[in-house]
Amino acid sequence: MSKLHLVFGGRVSDPQTLDFLEPSALDVVGIFPDYASAEKAWRANAQRTVDDAQMRYVVVHLHRLLDPSQGSLAD
């Protein structure tokens, strides 16, 4: 199975949490075939919004959601 990764971001209520204020307004950057390319996209978007403390971007390991047995933190 491919190790797909989703990168998205949006405005959060508190920069310490993942409580997104407007889920319908999330910026979906894309789905990537590996962690390296997802991290590159995450870094670019996080850097672009670095001055806005309420904006937060994340990488979600879709392959772990599809197959929980792939729960290793190394991929």
Residue 44 structure tokens:
């670019």
Residue 74 has pLDDT above 60, yes or no: no
Residue 37 lies in a domain: yes
Residue 9 lies in a domain: yes
Total domain count, the chain: 1
pLDDT in tens, 54-69: 999 999 999 888 777 7
Residue 75 lies in a domain: no
Q: Which residues of 14-38 are buried (b: 16+ CB within 10 A; e: fewer)?
A: eeeeeebeeeeeeeebeebeebeeb
Give the CATH number for residue 29.
3.30.70.2400
Q: What is the pLDDT of residue 63?
A: 83
Total residues found in the chain within this entry: 75
CA distance 15 to 38: 21
pTM of the model: 0.83
Which run of H or of E encompasses 23?
A: none
Domain of 26 in residue numbering reads as 5-70
pLDDT in tens, 3-55: 899 999 999 999 899 999 999 999 999 999 999 999 999 999 999 999 999 99
